Structure 1
Amino acid sequence: MIHRFTVLFLAALLPLLAGAGQAQAAGYRYWSFWDRDGSAWTYATVGPSLARPADGDVQGFRFSVSEDSGDAAKPRGTADFDTICAKTPAKDGTKRVALVIDFGTPADAPSGEQPPAGRTACAQVAGDATTAEALASVAKPLRYDSNALLCAIAGYPTKGCGEQISVEGKDSASTGAADEASAQDDGALGPSVGLIAGAAAVFVLGAAAVWQVRRRA
């Protein structure tokens, strides 16, 4: 009887463990920021409000769903600085920054929205301007949240900002800002409270069953 109980106990526990794994498989829908060196894109080390590109730099933005910077989708397109800024001559006291703006795919779009076609733009701004200022000069309206996270470029998407998305692509019940999302992601590194409580409940029930078998014997 004890061996049979062990099998039943494990069978009851497995769905809880599987559910925990599924809960951790989540991504975030957001605008990622990139630098380009030659033909290669690299994830930017600072945000657009802090980055100060030089004249001739190429930078990109991509809207997508990803778990972290390691699997974030890169901007698409091969246009270089000379192509993007071909019609914008150099001017004293300014710099030119080539921007690649990729609005992503329909699969990454929020419910009810359709991503616009990708675009490039040559921003001619003051020599000390940030990337955020360069972007604002060519792709308004921009939208930020209370933590200065870039939420929308050229009005897309119309709502939402860094929200958590389940593995099936459905929005989670709540998240909001990126720091909130990061906190939830960090919390997913260990077993959830629900998992521990569920396992404990199954163990208690199992122990009671064993006691009853022994008592009857």
Structure 2
Amino acid sequence: MTPNRPALSALLVLGALLAVLGTAGQAQAVGYRYWSFWDRDAAGGTWVYATQGPSTARPSDGDVQGFRFSVSEDSKHSAKPRGESGFAAICAKTPAREGAKRVALVLDFGTADDAPDGSTPPDPSPRTACARVGEDATTADALAAVAKPLRYDTNALLCAIAGYPRTGCGEAVSDGAGSGDRSTASPDTASPAPRRASEPGDGEPGGGGPSVGLVAGIAAVAVLGAAAILRARRRRG
């Protein structure tokens, strides 16, 4: 029996789209190794993912901000800085000064599981520092005052704090069986996310599944294929 050409074509296209969907799903099972940037909520004492990058954020006197080095898919799953220290404890030995502000910083270098191959976090626990900077200073200015050397890439992505890590910058990391099995997928490629200096953006790998357009296209082809098969059966009947 000669196969119905429209039905066969629709099914072949459907199969191809499903294969693309499967590949997209695999591609999204990827994380990024980078420094994430956080604000301490003064009211609740919890960490909130920063809505600006350190080069544009301008903290006020008394603010607490944190950085955490880790591997994560996106901002929703990013590891928060560890530690409970507040502004009073961190800046206790740094007196206020007219014309300046004090910003408390928590620098969490992460765990050995998230470290690049051949590297070890310089400190197993977070460091704290009180930066006294000008009233108009950004978080990047505060960071430069207490945590040099800093390293940035050509897109102004923050790559290293206090010299850690020595190499790499927001690289994609393949999803292994465990944290220690992660391997670098593209070591010289900066994360496309850190539009805010450290956040994988919406729509990037790890952003939440296939696009609506792709799913809708697959559904439409499936409907057309089913209709073609039904018409072919009616003709034969």
Q: Normalized against structure 2, the TM-score is what?
A: 0.69
Instruction: Let me know the Cα RMSD of the aligned residues.
Output: 2.7
Segments of structure 2 that go 5 or more residues without pairing to the other structure are 1-15, 177-181, 194-199, 212-237
2:121, 2:137 → 1: CA distance?
A: 28
Segments of structure 1 that go 5 or more residues without pairing to the other structure are 1-12, 191-217
Determine the structure 2 residue equivalent to 1:55.
61
1:91, 1:125 → 2: CA distance?
A: 10
1:155, 1:72 → 2: CA distance?
A: 21
Report the Cα offset of residue 177 of structure 1: 1.9
Determine the structure 1 residue equivalent to 2:163.
155
Determine the structure 2 residue equivalent to 1:45.
51
Report the Cα offset of residue 21 of structure 1: 3.4
Determine the structure 2 residue equivalent to 1:146.
154
Determine the structure 2 residue equivalent to 1:135.
143
Residues 1:189 and 2:210 are matched in the alignment: yes
Determine the structure 2 residue equivalent to 1:97.
103
Aligned residues: 181
| Percent identity over paired residues | 64
SS at match of 1:83: helix
| Deviation readout 1:153-202 (Å, 9 max, x if unpaired) | 0000000000000111111045612327868627x736xxxxxxxxxxxx
> Would the aligned equivalents of 1:141 and 1:153 in 2 still touch at CA under 8 Å?
yes
2:155, 2:186 → 1: CA distance?
A: 20
Determine the structure 1 residue equivalent to 2:224.
none
Determine the structure 2 residue equivalent to 1:167.
175
Q: Which has the higher contact order (CA 8 A, sep 6+)?
A: 2
Residues 1:88 and 2:101 are matched in the alignment: no
Match of 1:67 among 62, 65, 73: 73
The amino acid across from 1:146 in the alignment is: T
SS at match of 2:192: helix
Determine the structure 1 residue equivalent to 2:32.
28
Determine the structure 1 residue equivalent to 2:11.
none
Q: Normalized against structure 1, the TM-score is what?
A: 0.75
